[in-house]
Amino acid sequence: MPKPISVKKLIKNLNSFGFFGPYSGGRHMFMIKGNLKLRVPNPHKGDISKSLLSEILRQAGILTSEWNRL
């Protein structure tokens, strides 16, 4: 399971996997890769939890082992 992460670091890592953005839209920012539109949470305090990060990675199609190499 991945470790908790800040939003800034999440965006930087998603950019390295080929996602573009973040773009603002509605209540959440989002990033785009091809036809995939991935919502990025905006926690007002603290880091993104392990469980939420796991769900984001699942939606993005990124394996935890690939993510942990960064």
Q: What is the CATH number of the domain that holds 53?
A: 3.30.920.30
**What pLDDT, on a 0 to 100 scale, did the predictor assign at position 58?**
95
- pLDDT digit string, tens, across residues 6-59: 989 999 999 999 999 999 988 888 999 999 999 998 767 788 989 999 999 999
**What pLDDT, on a 0 to 100 scale, did the predictor assign at position 46?**
82
Owning domain of residue 29? 7-68
In a domain, 2, yes or no: no
| pLDDT at 2 > cutoff 80 | no
Q: Determine the 3-state secondary structure of 54 from DSSP.
A: helix
Residue 2 is given by DSSP the state: P
According to DSSP, the residues that pair with 20 across neighbouring strands are 32
Q: Which residues does 57 contact at the CB level (< 8 Å), separation at least 6?
A: 2, 63, 64, 67
In a domain, 1, yes or no: no
What distance in Å separates the CA atoms of residue 11 and residue 56, rounded to the nearest whole number? 11
In a domain, 26, yes or no: yes
Domains in the chain, number? 1
